[in-house]
Structure 1
Amino acid sequence: MASSLIASQPAAPSPSQSAAVPAPAPLVVGDGRNVRLISLGGAATDGLLTRVAANIGGAVAAVEKFWGTDWERDIVVIATDSQTQFVAQAGLAPAGNWNDIAAVSVADDVDFEHHHASGQRIVFAPGAAAMSDSSLRIVLTHELFHLAARADTALDAPRWLLEGVADFVARAQTPLPSEAAADTALPTDADLDVAGPARARGYDRAWWFARFVADSYGVVALRRLYVEACGPGHGDFAIAVRRALGTDIAGLRARWAQWLTG
Structure 2
Amino acid sequence: MRRSTTFAGTENSVGTEKSVDSTSPLNGRRALLVAVFLMEMVAATVLLWKAAPPPVSPRVPPPTPPSAASPGPVAPPDPVTSIPLPDGRSAALLALGGPHAPALLQRLGAELPDAVAAVDAFWGPDWPQHIEIAVAGSDQQFRVLAGGAADIAATTTAQRIMFAPGAAQMSPAALRIVLRHELFHYAARAQTAPDAPRWLTEGVADFVGRPAAARPGPASAATLAQLPADADLDTPGAARSLAYDRAWWFTRYVADTHGTSTLRELYQRACGPDHSDVATAVRQTLGADLDAVLVGWQHWLTG
TM-score calculated relative to the size of structure 1? 0.86
- In 2, the alpha carbon distance for the partners of 1:163 and 1:7 equals 8
Query: Map of 1:39-188 to 2, 5 A cutoff?
Result: 39-91=95-147, 98-107=149-158, 120-177=159-216, 179-183=219-223, 184-188=225-229
Shift of 1:150: 0.4
Native 8 Å contact 2:80 2:94 kept in 1: no
The alignment partner of 1:174 has SS state of coil
1:204 lines up with 2:245 in the alignment: yes
Paired residue type of 2:3 = L
Aligned to 2:85: 29
- In 2, the alpha carbon distance for the partners of 1:11 and 1:237 equals 21
- In 1, the alpha carbon distance for the partners of 2:176 and 2:261 equals 23
1:81-133 residue CA offsets vs partner (Å, 9 max, x unmatched) = 211100112145xxxxx1110001111xxxxxxxxxxxx20010111010111
Shift of 1:237: 1.0
1:28-77 residue CA offsets vs partner (Å, 9 max, x unmatched) = 11322110011111330111001111011010000000000010111000
Aligned to 2:68: none
Deviating more after overlay: 241-250 vs 178-187: 178-187
Structure 1 runs (4+) deviating above 6 angstroms are: none
| Superposition CA RMSD, Å | 2.0
Paired residue type of 2:142 = F
- In 2, the alpha carbon distance for the partners of 1:22 and 1:202 equals 40
Identity across aligned pairs (percent)?
A: 50
Shift of 1:23: 4.6
- In 1, the alpha carbon distance for the partners of 2:229 and 2:84 equals 38
1:17 lines up with 2:57 in the alignment: no
Paired residue type of 1:127 = G
Identify if the C-alpha distance between structure 1 residues 148 and 171 changes in structure 2 by more than 3 Å, giving closer, same or farther.
same
Indicate which of 5, 8, 18 corresponds to 1:7: 5
Native 8 Å contact 2:79 2:96 kept in 1: no
Aligned to 1:111: none
Paired residue type of 1:212 = Y
**Structure 1 unaligned runs (5+)?**
93-97, 108-119
- In 1, the alpha carbon distance for the partners of 2:124 and 2:131 equals 16
- In 2, the alpha carbon distance for the partners of 1:180 and 1:155 equals 32
Shift of 1:244: 1.2
1:194 lines up with 2:235 in the alignment: yes
1:152-197 residue CA offsets vs partner (Å, 9 max, x unmatched) = 1000000010011001011111124455313232232132121111
Native 8 Å contact 1:22 1:38 kept in 2: no
1:242 lines up with 2:283 in the alignment: yes
The alignment partner of 1:48 has SS state of helix
